Chains A and B, each alone.
Chain A
C-alpha cells in the first residue's frame, strides 16, 4: 500500500526558533499534499494544500508567513514553522493524494518551550 512518512516524529524547540517538518510519499508520486494541525481530542484542521512546483494554498486564518510550505518534488513537501511560539505547539499531520485516495503520515508532535 501507499506509505507516507514524516520526519521528525517529535521535535522540541525553543521559542523564537524555526523548525522544519518533512512529509514524504515513499512509494508513489503525489501531485498534491495537505498539511493539517490537530489539538488534543479535536479534529484535524486543514492548514494548506501543497501542489508540486507551485505556491501552497492556505486556508483562511492560517498565517502563510509563519507556516512556510514548500513542495519541491512529487515525493516531498516541507512545513517550516518560523519564529515558533508555545501556542504553535501541536500535532501536525500531512497527507498525500494518489488519485482520489489520501494517505496520511504518522504525524509530528511539536513542542515549543
Chain B
C-alpha cells in the first residue's frame, strides 16, 4: 500500500522568488518512483519531475528540483525563479514499477504574485 501526504493546501510566492512544496510518502514497495504533477486551470495533468527511488541524486528539470530524502520518506519540490505560469495545483505522488497504479497526494494550490 502507498500513501502520499501534502500538508500545505495552499502556498504563495512572489514572481522570481523560490518556493518549496512539501510531500511525505509511505510505501511497501521496494521498487518505486516519485513524481510531481502540475495541474493548471486547464486541468491538463503535466508531469513536472520524476525521481526513481533507487537513484540517490536528486532530479532536476530546469527551474524545478527535488529534495529526496529516502530514509525520511520525504520528497519536496523546489521551484526557482517562479513565473506567473507556474501558478497551478501541484500533486505529489508515487508509483510502483511492478504495477501501474499511481497514488496522489491531496494537492497544493500555488499562487504566484506579480
Q: Do A and B come from one complex?
A: yes
Inside 8 A of B101's CB, which chain A residues have their CB?
34, 46, 49
Partner of A91, one of B43, B97, B107: B43
Contact A43 B106 (CB under 8 A): yes
Chain A nearest Cβ from B74, distance in angstroms: 19
Contact B100 A41 (CB under 8 A): no
How far is B45's CA from A102's CA once the two chains are assembled, in angstroms? Answer: 10
Total number of A-B contacts with CB less than 8 angstroms?
42
* Size of the chain A interface, CB-CB below 8 angstroms: 18
Chain B nearest Cβ from A81, distance in angstroms: 18
Contact B104 A43 (CB under 8 A): yes
- Give the nearest-CB partner of B96 in chain A: A100
Inside 8 A of B95's CB, which chain A residues have their CB?
100, 102
Chain A nearest Cβ from B53, distance in angstroms: 12
Inside 8 A of B97's CB, which chain A residues have their CB?
100
* Chain B: number of interface residues, binned into ranges: 10 to 19
Chain B nearest Cβ from A9, distance in angstroms: 10
Contact B45 A100 (CB under 8 A): no
A100-B33 contact, Cβ under 8 Å, with A43-B104, A43-B107? yes
How far is B13's CA from A1's CA once the two chains are assembled, in angstroms? Answer: 31
Inside 8 A of B109's CB, which chain A residues have their CB?
41
Contact B44 A49 (CB under 8 A): no
Inside 8 A of B79's CB, which chain A residues have their CB?
none
Inside 8 A of B42's CB, which chain A residues have their CB?
106
Partner of A44, one of B33, B100, B104: B104
Max chain B CB contacts within 10 Å: which of A32, A34, A104?
A: A104
Max chain B CB contacts within 10 Å: which of A34, A43, A46, A104?
A: A43
Q: Does A93 contact B (CB under 8 A)?
A: yes
Chain B 80-114, CB-CB to A under 8 Å as 1, else 0, gives 00000000010100010100111011110100000
A106-B43 contact, Cβ under 8 Å, with A41-B89, A43-B91, A100-B33? yes
A43-B105 contact, Cβ under 8 Å, with A32-B100, A100-B95? yes
Between-chain CB contacts (< 8 Å), 8 pairs:
A43-B91, A49-B101, A97-B100, A100-B95, A104-B44, A106-B43, A107-B43, A107-B44
